[in-house]
Amino acid sequence: MYTLGIDIGSTTSKCVLLEDGNKIIATSLVVAGIGTNGGIKCMNEVLENAKVKREEIAYIIATGYGRKNFSEANGELSELSCHAKGVHFADPEVRTIIDIGGQDAKVIRLNSKGILENFLMNDKCAAGTGRFLDVMATILQVPIAEFETQARSTKEPAKISSTCTVFAESEVISQLANGSKVECVIAGICNSVASRVAGLAKRVGVKEEVFMSGGVARNGGVRDALERELQVSIKYSEHSQLMGALGAALFAYEKIGAAE
């Protein structure tokens, strides 16, 4: 039996197709989030990859910012619950998840059964989110994908404030004007995101093991900085962006179980 989880975020849509609640058959990711046809595209892609028809899916759960507007779904759940579920399935040792997405940052604590114990979301500010990195990448004209190598290439990060994206933007410009090297500024930017998110994590209480998910998790510069800030090692998976969708697919399977 197939269940599908779809995570429609602010900038991307992700799908995970699950068989019998424990086997991942296919996944998909399209760079188009809420307010676009990204959700449908993403679902069609996953179905095509798996050679499975829409009618064969027993239950669909949507999550993410666009969860309310996906008409194909049978139900919807918050992305925090789904993230916790997905990460627990992938790695049952994890107790803290730090999820930095395009719009916001979240810290989730779960117990040994994978049940959400506590969570915190950032306030309404781009600082400490993927958006902050996007703004900085545009100013520096360096693709985000290069942030990791650049940040790792220096031992002298510049000091960039973590309180406000707008202030940080002018700080970056004046750092550059004062002759700071681009890699130092990039390392400073990664530190800035990390220090903001670390503050959030400490408020929830960090329990090991710690897993990082969301689009920003791909950036090793931020991961390194966060490990230093929190003094813990941080796990990461190539598939971390898919955890919300995976959790949704798992919940979808449970829903059917409950109904039967």
Site residues (vs another protein, CB under 8 A)? 65, 77-81, 104, 115-121, 123-124
Nearer to another protein, 1 or 121 (CB): 121
Q: Are 28 and 258 in contact (CB under 8 A)?
A: no
Q: CA–CA separation, 234 vs 223, rounded Å? A: 7
- Residue 28 and residue 2 in contact, taking contact as beta carbons nearer than 8 Å: no
CA dihedral over 168, 169, 172, 177, signed as positive or negative: negative
CB of 215 vs another protein, minimal distance in Å: 17
Q: How far is the CB of 158 from another protein (least distance, A)?
A: 27
CB of 85 to another protein, least distance (A): 10
Could you give the CA distance from residue 63 to residue 241 in angstroms, rounded to a whole number?
13
Nearer to another protein among residue 30 and residue 120 (C-beta): 120
Distance in Å, CB of 137 to another protein, minimum = 24
Please, what is the minimum distance in Å from the beta carbon of residue 120 to another protein? 8
For 192, the token pair is 């800035």
Q: By three-state DSSP, how is residue 125 classified?
A: coil
Give strand ranges (E) for 96-169.
96-100, 105-110, 116-121
Residue 122 Cβ, how far from another protein at the closest point, in Å?
9
Name, in order, each residue with C-beta under 8 angstroms of 126's C-beta and a sequence gap of 6 or more. 103, 132, 135, 165
In the complex with another protein, the residue whose CB is nearer, 1 or 115, is 115
Which residue lies nearer to another protein by CB, 25 or 77? 77
How far is 131 from 211, CA to CA, in rounded Å?
Answer: 21
* Closer Cβ to another protein, 63 or 150, answer by number: 63
Residue 65 or 70 with smaller CB distance to another protein? 65
